[in-house]
Amino acid sequence: MKPEQIPATLALIAVSVVAYLLFTYWDRQAVAFYLLISVFNDRGLPEIMSGELWRLITPIFLHFGIFHIVFNMLWVYMLGGVIEIRQGKWLLLLLVVVTAAVSNLIQYLVSGYSFGGMSGVVYALFGYVWIQGLTNDAFGVQLQKQLIIMMLGWFFICWSGILELFNLSIANTAHTAGLISGMILSILVTLFFGRWHWRGYRPG
């Protein structure tokens, strides 16, 4: 993929990397204060209710370790790039915004404010591309079976609780909400726009 083909994908990665560097090497408390969905744990979303609507999205830019951000950014590059090239940057950004808000909100309602990362969106992008490949011939991409098995395998490993033995806390609810919302949006796109040949692309 050429950089000029995927500006939105690269922008998402750039913002995430900058946020990670500031969080890791500058001021963790200050960065977390501005990126977390809330700094209160009462499930009331007081900041958002007072107008700070960006907090529904910004937790996706908060990562807690090098492996966390590298893993997520690789998938954003691969899956987000595929969507952007075939269906455009605005659809990709809309997909990210909607699935980020859904996965962040549901994770917050289940576990409170202490979470972050792009993995909910990554699973949304995965679910979206997976379903597009199955339902929309104009999309022109089908995920390999090995990749599907790997992503779903990791999904169930995270839910199993094994990783908690290594003191790794996983936002499993965000994964699930992202995956389901990405799949639903993909079905809707196919139903309403599936016959379009996006961005001049023609399936081979």
CATH number for the domain spanning 109: value is 1.20.1540.10
Question: Are the C-beta atoms of 151 and 92 separated by less than 8 Å?
Answer: no
Structure tokens at 150: 């790997």
11 torsion bin: left (phi>0), alpha (psi -120 to 50), beta (else): alpha
Among 103, 81, 43, 34, CA closest to 62: 34
Structure tokens at 168: 């790794």
pLDDT of residue 203: 39
Domain interval for residue 196: 3-200
Q: Give the residue numbers annotated as catalytic, written as ranges.
A: 119, 175
- Per-residue pLDDT tens over the stretch 113-144: 989 999 999 999 999 999 999 999 889 899 99
Split into its structural domains, the chain has a count of 1
Its pTM stands at: 0.91
- Per-residue pLDDT tens over the stretch 47-90: 999 999 999 999 999 999 999 999 999 999 999 999 999 999 99
Which comes out higher in pLDDT, residue 196 or 99?
99
